[in-house]
Amino acid sequence: MSIKNRYLRPLPYIIIGTLVAVILMYIGEFIANARSDEAWGLAGQDEFGAAGWVTWIIAAAVVIYGIYVWAIDQPIWTVGTREVVYMALGAALYGMLSWVFNTVPVPSVSLVSLRPTVVIPVFFGFAFGPVVGFFTGFMGNVLADALTGWGVFPAWDVANGLMGLIPGLIMVFKNKSRAISVMVWVTTGLLLIITILTFTSPLLPDTWTGEPTDFTSWAWVPALGAVLVLVTNFAPRLWPWLTGIMGVGVLVKAISATVSDGFDSGIAILFIWAILLGLLSYYVFRRGKAIEAALSDEDTKVIVIWGTLGVIVGIGFASIADIWINGYTFMVALVGEFVPAAGPNILFTVLLTPLLYSAWKEAQSQTGR
């Protein structure tokens, strides 16, 4: 007998989903411990209280429950064979590719890496629904951190899941144009507020040494994200130029890191990424009109803008959690952790997700699906 009450109907799914998530994290802990003796597993973390990982898993379950109740009459929660296949494929792709990029650290107060692979959960959430997107981000992050030997960090696993879930919620709205218009200004406003806060409090104590560290340069990243969102929505013809600028930026970062820290595998990946962005820039300039037409497509704008919102919500969840888990102040969590983690993810979401979506659409048209 089905449950008709809209507030009770989601509970079995939320409870089962939470238990599955915990089991998957313990599997990740087993893999991480096999990979490294220094893995930070669930056994080494608090379970309950404000800093407990169980507390934040429950908090995530409450958030998802609220979203489920809000959109309970929509078909976005359906999980069949097709969705299960996409969940497994998305998680495997995100986990394996993120494992590679975990070798490229990003300066922050915590363990943050450069992840252009963020486009995978964003795309899977938009294309195949919020459940597929959440699983792709959540399990993919568990797998990547486990294979790296870091361990299991539940708040960040949930954060990656939310990055995939949020873009899938666009399916709830009948008027996509209005949803795009509203979220353009919501995301732009949030990014500008973050920029201002970063500029006003750029000096933070280093996590390990306690010495003041200047994060002023990071303020330009959310500001650039705001510009990219506006360009994508209002001036897509400028988009190819932004790809080239990003490639130059990655190349400069790789060269400066080599000069200051020496050459290693992480910097090698940065150079490879700069080369790939250079080739991508050449490609989009050659197909400038086609790219502009693709960016003028409503669905492309949706995936960019709602993907950006997903990054803000997801990384925001983890950063807020770390105020209690790691004892950060609000400004340390925002400037020292959120901005270095969310900033590059937003840039990758805006610049790369449209290409992935365009390739998927072209493949669909060729196969007649």
- Quickly list DSSP for 2-59: ----TTTTTHHHHHHHHHHHHHHHHHHHHHHHHH-TT-B-GGGS--SSTT-HHHHHHH
Domain boundaries, the chain: 11-172, 176-367
CB 140 within 8 A of CB 109: no
Q: pLDDT tens digits, residue range 237-284?
A: 776 677 777 777 777 777 877 887 777 666 776 677 777 777 777 777
CA nearest 318: which of 56, 113, 139?
Answer: 56
Pairing of β 212-214 and β 203-205? antiparallel
* Residue 288: predicted pLDDT: 63
Can you tell me the distance from the alpha carbon of 19 to that of 72, in angstroms, rounded to the nearest whole number? 21
Q: Which of 159-168, 181-190, 218-227, 290-299 has the lowest mean pLDDT?
A: 290-299
* Residue 310: predicted pLDDT: 93
- Token pair, residue 97, equals 């590719």
- Token pair, residue 243, equals 């790809």
* Residue 1: predicted pLDDT: 45
Q: Which residues pair with 151 in a beta bridge?
A: 40
Q: Which of 1-15, 69-83, 162-176 has the lowest mean pLDDT?
A: 1-15
Mean pLDDT for 183-196 is: 89
> Can you say whether the dihedral through the CA atoms of 149, 153, 158, 164 is positive or negative?
negative
Rounded to the nearest 5°, which phi and psi values hold at 61?
A: -60, -35
Can you tell me the distance from the alpha carbon of 248 to that of 77, in angstroms, rounded to the nearest whole number? 41
Residue 150 in this model has a pLDDT that exceeds 50: yes
**What is the phi-psi region of residue 327: left when phi exceeds 0, alpha when psi lies from -120 to 50, beta otherwise?**
left
Can you tell me the distance from the alpha carbon of 65 to that of 71, in angstroms, rounded to the nearest whole number? 10
Q: pLDDT tens digits, residue range 285-300?
A: 776 666 666 666 778 8
Residue 188 in this model has a pLDDT that exceeds 50: yes
Q: Which of 111-120, 168-177, 211-220 has the lowest mean pLDDT?
A: 211-220
Mean pLDDT for 57-69 is: 92
* Residue 353: predicted pLDDT: 87
* DSSP character string of 272-325: HHHHHHHHHHHHHHHTHHHHHHHHTSHHHHHHHHHHHHHHHHHHHHHHHHHHHH
Q: Which of 9-18, 56-65, 223-232, 332-341 has the lowest mean pLDDT?
A: 223-232
Mean pLDDT for 59-88 is: 89
Residue 191 in this model has a pLDDT that exceeds 60: yes
Q: How confident is the model at residue 369 (pLDDT cuts 50, 70, 90)?
A: low
* Residue 35: predicted pLDDT: 85
Best-predicted range by mean pLDDT among 190-194, 218-222, 332-336? 190-194
Residue 13 in this model has a pLDDT that exceeds 60: yes
Residue in the structure block whose two tokens are 């959430």? 125
Residue 205 in this model has a pLDDT that exceeds 70: no
* Residue 209: predicted pLDDT: 55
Residue 99 in this model has a pLDDT that exceeds 60: yes
* Per-chain mean pLDDT for the chain: 83
CA distances from residue 21 to 73, 140, 160 in whole angstroms, order as listed: 24, 12, 13
Can you tell me the distance from the alpha carbon of 250 to that of 261, in angstroms, rounded to the nearest whole number? 16
CB 202 within 8 A of CB 336: no
pTM score, two decimals?
Answer: 0.86
- Token pair, residue 74, equals 């929509």
CA distances from residue 60 to 16, 72, 114, 213 in whole angstroms, order as listed: 14, 17, 24, 32
Can you tell me the distance from the alpha carbon of 146 to that of 38, in angstroms, rounded to the nearest whole number? 11
- Token pair, residue 359, equals 């390739």
- Token pair, residue 305, equals 């803008």
